[in-house]
Structures are given as C-alpha cells and as structure tokens.
C-alpha cells in the first residue's frame, strides 16, 4: 500500500504538467511563408492561420521575436481582430472559440527597395504560455 501511494505521489505531478502543456491551438498549414516580389510590386497580404483545437474559448497572445525588414519598407500587420501600422512588439487576438481560426498577416510596400527581410512571431495561449509556436514570414524583393 505504501508503494502504491509513493508512486501515485511521484507520478501525479507529471500528469498535471502534461495536461497543462497540451496544445490548445495549432498552425493550419505551414508556420512559414516565403514571398518573392519585384521591387515595383507590393505584398498585399501574406497570412498564416491558427486554429483553436481545444473544447473551450482561448485567447492567443503574440510577440515579435525577430524583425530584419529593411527600414525603407513600408510594413504593417494584422492579427485576428485588429490591424496595426508597422510591426509592433506584440498584441493579442480576440477570443477564438473551439474550431475557430485566427491569423497573423503582414503587408509590405518595398518602396523600390530591394532586399530580404524576416519577421518571426511567437504565439501562445494566455492560459497555457508553456506551449508556443513561431510563425515566420520571409520576404525577398528583387
């Protein structure tokens, strides 16, 4: 009996930890978009979708973890629920219900400036920050 109690107390924290780290959202398709344009063109939208795979509403938060877009490019981004000028440091989606999809999207006007830029967003559930995905947008202007 003591052995059973000992092992129960020993493994219970692992089950709790595992249950908390279970993903509540997933990336729909690829977590990386690569766009190639001519310098006189513009990137109207490049979008990566995520879906709530849990059985309850979730609130996703995102942070910009890397941004090498040339300063001359005119950029903006949108997340599910709002759009913003430039590439901000972070924000959040409006509520995603079960089976509902949200997105992060970027827009680039290269202003006739050639170059390559990458922006990476870390996205996670407010209630489960241990599980995160990195969404990557790579843009090359020729």
**pLDDT for 15:** 52
- C-alpha–C-alpha distance, residues 50 and 31, integer Å: 9
Q: pLDDT digits over 6-26, tens only?
A: 555 555 555 545 555 689 999
CATH H-level, domain 24-141: superfamily: Immunoglobulins (2.60.40.10)
**pLDDT for 48:** 98
Quote the pTM value: 0.84
83 in Cβ contact with 77 (< 8 Å): yes
C-alpha angle 84-90-96 in degrees, rounded to nearest 5: 85
Ranges of residues in the chain whose predicted pLDDT is under 50: 5, 16
């Amino acid at each position: 009996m003591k052995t059973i109690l000992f092992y129960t107390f020993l493994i219970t924290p692992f089950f709790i930890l595992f249950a908390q780290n279970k993903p509540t959202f997933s990336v729909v398709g690829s977590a990386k978009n690569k766009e190639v344009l001519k310098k006189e063109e513009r990137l109207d939208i490049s979008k990566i979708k995520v879906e709530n795979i849990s059985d309850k509403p979730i609130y996703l938060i995102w942070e910009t973890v890397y941004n090498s877009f040339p300063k001359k490019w005119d950029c903006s981004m949108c997340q599910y629920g709002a759009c913003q000028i430039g590439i901000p440091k972070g924000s959040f989606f409006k509520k995603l219900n079960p089976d509902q999809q949200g997105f992060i999207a970027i827009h680039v006007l290269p202003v006739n400036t050639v170059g390559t830029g990458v922006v990476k967003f870390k996205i996670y559930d407010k209630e489960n920050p241990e599980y995160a995905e990195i969404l990557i947008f790579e843009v090359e202007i020729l």
